[in-house]
Chain A
Amino acid sequence: KAGVTQTPRYLIKTRGQQVTLSCSPISGHRSVSWYQQTPGQGLQFLFEYFSETQRNKGNFPGRFSGRQFSNSRSEMNVSTLELGDSALYLCASSPSTGGNEKLFFGSGTQLSVL
């Protein structure tokens, strides 16, 4: 089985721009979660999607949004980029939701905001 695929691997943007990141989960996995990782804050939960519905949302401003498609692929969008949005964005999938599942992570998208 192919693993979790995130594209692009690296991204450089300037302040004020917007960006869309993509995540393809493992085949058969219906839950996709997004995390932001920075050296100072560690991994911070952004949101979780299950069967095209946002199930949970972390404490991030409305500039961060996401969606999930019928094939379980997910995208996250960040609008009006700020310097502080520079981070490694990680996507993780699991067969179901509920917290008893182990997460399978992609390699991440490294976003740099200049």
Chain B
Amino acid sequence: SQQGEEDPQALSIQEGENATMNCSYKTSINNLQWYRQNSGRGLVHLILIRSNEREKHSGRLRVTLDTSKKSSSLLITASRAADTASYFCATADPGGSYIPTFGRGTSLIVHP
């Protein structure tokens, strides 16, 4: 089964800075989703971008998708300490079971 891979594995920044995380995947996708997880809790859906979309915004979040490079990026602008969490991308393969498969995540720490 395909799996997205996030990069970097860990990211440490100061409050007010922007945070960029990347996700690469292996095969064609139907859509790509980003989720956030606070320590030891469940995941929270952030944004879904379809394969025919190139960019999507939600508040301080901006997601881009480049299907030719099989990659996506998540940008969090003006980071806050409350953004400290792990961020995961999930892809659904239209040629497979459509089950969202997750990467190992990027651990983001925002220092106040």
Residues of B within 8 A of A55 (CB): 97
The contact size tier of chain A is 20 to 34
Interface contact B43-A90, CB-CB below 8 Å: yes
User: In the complex, what distance in Å separates the CA atom of A104 from the CA atom of B48?
Assistant: 13
Interface contact A43-B102, CB-CB below 8 Å: yes
Nearest residue (CB) in A for B5 is: A42
Interface contact B104-A42, CB-CB below 8 Å: yes
Residues of B within 8 A of A65 (CB): none
Interface check B40, CB cutoff 8 A: yes
User: In the complex, what distance in Å separates the CA atom of A59 from the CA atom of B17?
Assistant: 40
Convert B74-112 into 0s and 1s, putting 1 for each residue whose CB lies closer than 8 angstroms to a CB of A.
Answer: 000000000000001010111001111111110000000
Residues of A within 8 A of B48 (CB): 102
Residues of A within 8 A of B90 (CB): 103
Interface contact B98-A90, CB-CB below 8 Å: no
Nearest residue (CB) in A for B104 is: A42
Interface contact B88-A99, CB-CB below 8 Å: no
The contact size tier of chain B is 20 to 34
Nearest residue (CB) in B for A57 is: B97
| Given A99-B31, A99-B92, A100-B92: A105 touches B43 (CB 8 Å cut-off) | yes
Residues of B within 8 A of A103 (CB): 33, 35, 43, 45, 90, 100
| Given A4-B42, A108-B41, A110-B40: A42 touches B105 (CB 8 Å cut-off) | yes
| Given A88-B40, A99-B92: A56 touches B33 (CB 8 Å cut-off) | no
Convert A32-65 into 0s and 1s, putting 1 for each residue whose CB lies closer than 8 angstroms to a CB of B.
Answer: 0101000001110100100000011011000000
Residues of A within 8 A of B30 (CB): 99-100
Residues of A within 8 A of B31 (CB): 99-100
13 A–B pairs (Cβ distance < 8 Å), ordered by A:
A6-B42, A35-B102, A42-B88, A43-B43, A45-B99, A56-B99, A90-B42, A92-B42, A99-B99, A100-B30, A100-B31, A100-B92, A103-B35
Binding site for B on A (CB under 8 A): 4, 6, 33, 35, 41-43, 45, 48, 55-56, 58-59, 88, 90, 92, 97-100, 102-108, 110
